Structure 1
């Protein structure tokens, strides 16, 4: 019988496969589960629990083929016995691809992102707390970035699951929602309303499809209003957005992941953030949130709406442009990456570099003398 630690390693291998982690990362987990090599036991596990339960179907044949080739090559290299069924599965994948040319041109793949409870033990039946199934693009280098899954989205999702009290019974509004992973997590922690937005039409279509796969999206706007814990998907162009466009959008908490990336978009982003964070006297509030005088933030303080933005600072000049525009618009930015570090819900995703992501808390400045610039000293560069 396998030890508890071994079972955990095998679980990580399985979840990495369903999340379509890079093949080298999956192979590293397979090697680790086998104590340094891809043993016959690990090979059987891959056949029975990964390949045999391939939830992605035909569109993931290319990925399965790649994994099989690497597992076979690794086993042969280490002089381990290779299970004959691995060769058979590889042959079947190659045959299926040749018989169905559409599999070779598919630009969408399905990833199952499983969030593990950080405190789980190997005997627990509640090891996986949440699974989000997402249709993602394989054409990241061809402009289809909105349908890709980015580290900041994973980080923001972990943050939501780590601090559910910040979002439970709150109206949450996300900018640049992409594939919609954050929306799935907000629904899971009990947000009273979740509004996901994006300014790209194809991304919005994919996002709605993802919400449907996760049983969250309702097309009828009347039903959206009447149904709790459901997600609404809306088109929102930052360049064209006006107060009127946002008037009927309830929001106590504003969120965004990897939305600070283009200097030309910065003025529009800051303008939209300012509108979303401003408390208008006539603005509707969620029924549950209205029972509280103020919205609490991650440090336990209260005082109006708050935004949480997760971002990878790929270009310091672009971020500085955002910081200056925010300060000029009387927005206060505080880096809370270290003080509000989320728990690790994705230990099996070896390609996910949590250290590259910064988490910012943004609010309207309390006074005209507070220009937000002092908070920039907390940024790590």
Structure 2
């Protein structure tokens, strides 16, 4: 599958570096825009904001970019600005992501260990994240967050359509494999949380969209699709 037409010079307009899994997740977004068009998207550990810029380019319903570090969020907002992506102030944005307006972008701090009810109830169609499981200590709170945002029995409305369409939310998590034991721990924790997980990097292999990263070893990066399910 070829990448959709997009401004790929973004790689030259980011302060701080993007990790390898973030680059592959960016190519995944560009290769499968139909998964995100008109959807409310939430990125966990948004980092430099590269994925967020691309989501804004392809016409999502609303984008919420989150990170636990306030310094990272400040840098992220600057990266969005230099890529001409307008950010809503938190007090102006509705915490419910459902809206029929054009693409809206919000940035907020989100610490996985201290979730509040308003964060557990965020309505998002698609959750994205990259390079989130490098530390085993991060895995339980990350999976708890995913389980909270991928509820069973509560489909979410898709935006940007002539008539309402409801669907169950899904997460796409890209991970560079540095330690196989950490990956096994992540998979086991996801399953214990009652979530279904499948590796889709092969069946939905992203096209090579980004230039200037010839040293990126895509074979060491996995993309997992995660959803809630019942026995």
Alignment TM class, shorter chain as reference:
0.7 to 0.9
Give me the TM-score of the superposition, normalised by structure 2: 0.87
Give the superposed CA RMSD: 2.5
Q: Is the 8 A contact 2:3 2:207 kept in 1?
A: no
With over 3 angstroms needed to count, the CA separation of the structure-2 counterparts of 1:366 and 1:351, relative to structure 1, is same
Return the offset for 1:279: 5.1
Residue of structure 2 in register with 1:356 after alignment:
220
Match of 1:194 among 39, 52, 63: 63
Higher RCO structure (Cα 8 Å, ≥6 apart): 2
Q: Which has the larger radius of gyration?
A: 1
Match of 1:288 among 157, 160, 170: 160
Which structure has more strand as a fraction of its residues? 2
Residue of structure 2 in register with 1:57 after alignment:
none
Q: For residues 189 and 212 of structure 1, what CA distance do their matches in structure 2 show?
A: 17
Q: Can you list the C-alpha shifts for 1:230-257, whole angstroms capped at 9, x where unaligned? A: 321110000101333242x330001100
Residue of structure 1 in register with 2:75 after alignment:
206
With over 3 angstroms needed to count, the CA separation of the structure-2 counterparts of 1:326 and 1:119, relative to structure 1, is closer
Query: Counterpart of 1:131 in 2: which secondary structure?
Result: helix
Match of 1:315 among 179, 201, 208: 179
Give me the TM-score of the superposition, normalised by structure 1: 0.54
Q: For residues 362 and 161 of structure 1, what CA distance do their matches in structure 2 show?
A: 20
Return the offset for 1:286: 4.9
1:260 equivalent to 2:133? Answer yes
Q: Map 1:91-170 to 2 at 5 A.
A: 118=2, 129-132=7-10, 133-136=13-16, 148-170=17-39
With over 3 angstroms needed to count, the CA separation of the structure-2 counterparts of 1:349 and 1:308, relative to structure 1, is same
Return the offset for 1:308: 0.4
Query: Counterpart of 2:166 in 1: which secondary structure?
Result: coil
Which structure has more helix as a fraction of its residues? 1
With over 3 angstroms needed to count, the CA separation of the structure-2 counterparts of 1:351 and 1:291, relative to structure 1, is same
